[in-house]
Amino acid sequence: MNHTKIVLRTLFYQFFILFIGMSIGFLINPEWFGHKSVIVNRSIRNIFYPIEYNDNVEMFLMDIGKSRLWVQLDDPPNLTFYNSKMVGEEWFETDYSYSNKKQEIIEGHYKTRIKWKPWEYYYENDGVIQ
């Protein structure tokens, strides 16, 4: 009887220590487990390893801004852009001109915001967390 109690107690504590270790592992490394593991891992990567803004990103964002204007003007065939620039990594500004169906030249200025960064960059905390 005494040996059985010792064996059961030993097994219980071994499983208890294993359970505690696995619980700590789940808490420390949430990006490895569960159906939201990809989201948590990507959020951690976005927070601690920010995205670089380089020439390729700038050209891509300018193309997005130009295509937005092109769609907004309903597909003009001879749309030309000049003085195109990105302001503050998110605002696309350009001057444009095109001729409409009556062959009138229309010029204008266009400005749009392109949110290209992950949601962590746009998160605003309105108050103190208590």
List beta partners, residue 95.
82, 109
Query: How is the chain split into domains, by residue range?
Result: 2-48, 55-116
**Burial of 92 (C-beta count, 10 Å sphere; 0-12/13-18/19+):** buried
φ/ψ (deg, to 5) at 51: -75, 135
Whole-model pTM? 0.62
Q: Convert the pLDDT of each residue in 71-119 to its tens digit.
A: 998 888 889 999 999 998 899 999 999 988 888 888 999 999 999 888 8
Reported in sequence order, the residue ranges of the chain that DSSP labels E, i.e. its strands, are 80-87, 91-99, 105-113
CB 96 within 8 A of CB 80: yes
